[in-house]
Amino acid sequence: MRFAPLALNLAIAGALVLAGAFPATAQILNGTFDNGLTGWTVTTTGGCSATVSTNGNPAPGARLWNNDAGSATLTQTFNCGGGSDGSCSLSLDYATDTLVGSKMVVTVTLDNVVMYSANHNGGVTAYTPVQFSVPCGQHTLGISAASTSTSPFSVWMMFVDNVTASCVPPVSTEGSTWSSLKATYR
């Protein structure tokens, strides 16, 4: 029994090491769509769909598509930074293929606030990054494509890939003040 306190202390030390082993980063699940749509919640209206496509950056990517009025949305709730202070940098790539005469809008929301929106009225666009920063913590990301025309001939696709989120801890100002620098080099 004399070893029991030591074992307990080792267990506590191990738990502390484990707790400290997780970096304050990442947490978007399957942002490369290598595992299909795992981790993403799909919401569609008007006969739209979300599937996995061989058109990725690189493949596979997600495809939101439509041949009528309606919308398709991918959402994911994630924890950027585990509740720590700092700035959460989000990034995703998207491309579009919109039939001439068709009109659609791409919208990216965070916690139901529009962070990015762009209309695509005919034509093809290459993969383009969308990036923004918010405070670290738990967030819900929404990536949506929707018809802006009720034409029955509206045909469009949106491709999504490389969804990432990374919490950058705040830079400590302690140690970089003039008085501390003087103290260091005195």
**What would the DSSP string read from start to end of 144-166?**
EEEES---TT--EEEEEEEEEEE
User: Contact between 56 and Ca ion (CB under 5 A)?
Assistant: yes
Strand partners, 140: 77
Among 73, 139, 143, 161, which residue interacts with Ca ion (rule: CB under 5 A)?
161
Nearest residue to 167 (alpha-carbon basis) of 81, 82, 90: 81
CB nearer to Ca ion: give 24 or 95: 95
The nearer residue to Ca ion, 61 or 81, going by C-beta atoms, is: 61
Query: Residue 106 or residue 155: which is nearer to Ca ion going by CB?
Result: 106
Question: Which of the residues 19 through 38 are near Ca ion (CB under 5 A)?
Answer: 32
How far apart are CB 75 and Ca ion at their closest, in Å? 18
Total residues contacting Ca ion (rule CB under 5 A)?
4
Alpha helix (H) ranges present in 26-113? none
Give the SS3 label for residue 73: strand
**Selection from 90, 87, 95, 74 nearest residue 144 by Cα:** 74
Nearer to Ca ion, 61 or 86 (CB): 61
Task: Write down the least CB distance from residue 129 to Ca ion, Å.
Answer: 14
Q: Please report, as ranges, the residues that interact with Ca ion according to CB under 5 A.
A: 32, 56, 61, 161
